[in-house]
Amino acid sequence: MLATAVPAHVPTDRVVDFDIFNPPGIETDYFAAWTALLDGPGLVWTTANGGHWIGARGDIVRQLWADADRLSSECLAVTPGLGEVMQFIPLQSDGPAHKAFRTPVVKGFASRFITALEPGVEAAARELIAGLRDRGECDFVTDFAEILPLNIFLNLIDVPLEDRPRLRQLGVQLTRPDGSITVEGLKQAADDYLWPFIEQRMREPGDDLFSRILALPVGDRPWSVDEAQRMCRNLLFGGLDTVAAMVGMVALHLARHPGDQRLLRENSDLIPAAADELMRRYPTVAVSRNAVVDVEVDGITIRTGDLVYLPSVLHNLDPACFASPEEVHFDRGLTPVRHTTMGVGAHRCVGAGLARMEVIVFLQEWLAGMPEISLSPTRAVTMKGGNVGACTSIPLVWDAKLAP
């Protein structure tokens, strides 16, 4: 953790000792570690990691996340140098350029393509479940969460499934870095891997996601090679971690709440609403923004150039934004809920529809194919913080004799 002096424009009562990568208690409860900030001011400054603001109240997180005019997405993350090196498209672009890049990407994720993927996701989930069912135990993270979403994404971009372990490690280093690889090394590893596929898709487009996007214009012109690399780099990293983290959190909820398992088994029509509510309840994504002008908020001035960290958990679990936010009520998902799990505004996650479909399919297939699960009485659940928080181990047990 790199600590810095507090700038003159930051009031002393807004300074906290909080490392976003390792807040106290994160190893056992990601959500409690973060919601501790809800007891203080709505905007705080930490001296950790070079010094930056943290949106610490739900309304402020959502307001600033959506403020694309005054807060730029170019910085990408608190990790020093990450934004300057990665230069993701469309994630790190703003204004008209962002719209021009985002439009073909969104079309590549059109609902008809997501719908067409669903049978394959169902089949992949069933195959994984069949391999686990008779074991009576598993570590859900390594045996399912790190396999199904990644395989779906790798099929989507049409790269070899045997590359999953290698690519998974790159995704983890972007969102939860441990210092074992430099930012430059991470970018180079991704580019070296992707280039043969990009070159082929630009020359001979296929039916995969990259081909669909690169076949569409950026405004009124084709993609340049540099832009294609930056876009594919963005989607690769975006697909390697976030859904795996979310599916892990959903499985953890099921293990801790056997009543919810039974309810959804008996009322499968509730599963889409349950998926929406569980995605609201267990958000782990955060974004960074840098101010391009002075911004007045919560009685504080965010100065031009200041970095602001916006964790979705502090919007979704703020009692001022949601009634009893830490409780899961599946009927809450029956009506549109303005949570921030997938972002808000111009930069809302382009893969939100795919992620939702995967969570729904997971719930449908897991509950249909597995007996009631619970947490192992002898092994602990572990978690890790970062720009995407996640469980690193979810030890599950079940009575294999009761398998469907």
- Which range, of 7-16, 21-30, 175-184, 344-353, averages the lowest pLDDT? 175-184
Domain assignment present for residue 1? The answer is no
Burial class (CB in 10 A: 0-12, 13-18, 19+), 299: exposed
Tell me what pLDDT residue 267 has.
96
- Average model confidence (pLDDT) across the chain: 93
Calculate mean pLDDT across residues 218-225.
95
- Tens digits of residue pLDDT in 144-199: 999 998 889 889 999 898 988 888 888 888 778 888 888 899 899 989 999 999 99
Domain assignment present for residue 293? The answer is yes
Rounded-to-integer distance, Cα 156 and Cα 215, Å: 16
Other Cβ atoms within 10 Å of 163 Cβ, number: 12
Helix intervals (H) in 204-293: 209-214, 225-239, 242-256, 258-266, 271-281
For residue 1, is pLDDT > 90?
A: no
Q: What CATH number does the domain containing 100 carry?
A: 1.10.630.10
Domain assignment present for residue 336? The answer is yes
Spatial contact of 90 and 98, defined as CB atoms under 8 Å apart:
yes
Calculate mean pLDDT across residues 18-28.
95
- Tens digits of residue pLDDT in 67-98: 999 999 988 788 777 888 889 999 999 999 99
pLDDT band at 15 (very low <50, low <70, confident <90, very high): very high
Domain assignment present for residue 2? The answer is no
Tell me what pLDDT residue 3 has.
62
197 is in which domain, residue-wise?
A: 12-402
What element of type H or E holds 375? strand 374-375
Can you give the pTM of this predicted structure? 0.93
For residue 337, is pLDDT > 90?
A: no
Rounded-to-integer distance, Cα 211 and Cα 107, Å: 12
Tell me what pLDDT residue 238 has.
83
Rounded-to-integer distance, Cα 385 and Cα 26, Å: 6
Domain assignment present for residue 250? The answer is yes
- Tens digits of residue pLDDT in 277-312: 999 999 999 999 999 999 999 999 999 999 999 999
- Tens digits of residue pLDDT in 49-69: 999 999 999 999 999 999 999
User: Which pairing describes strands 15-16 and 43-46: parallel, antiparallel, or unpaired?
Assistant: parallel
Spatial contact of 281 and 62, defined as CB atoms under 8 Å apart:
no
Domain assignment present for residue 105? The answer is yes
How many domains are contained in the chain? 1
For residue 4, is pLDDT > 80?
A: no
Residue 183 phi/psi, 5-degree rounding, is -60, -45
Domain assignment present for residue 3? The answer is no
- Which range, of 197-201, 236-240, 259-263, averages the lowest pLDDT? 236-240
- Higher pLDDT among residues 239 and 140, named by residue: 140
Domain assignment present for residue 4? The answer is no
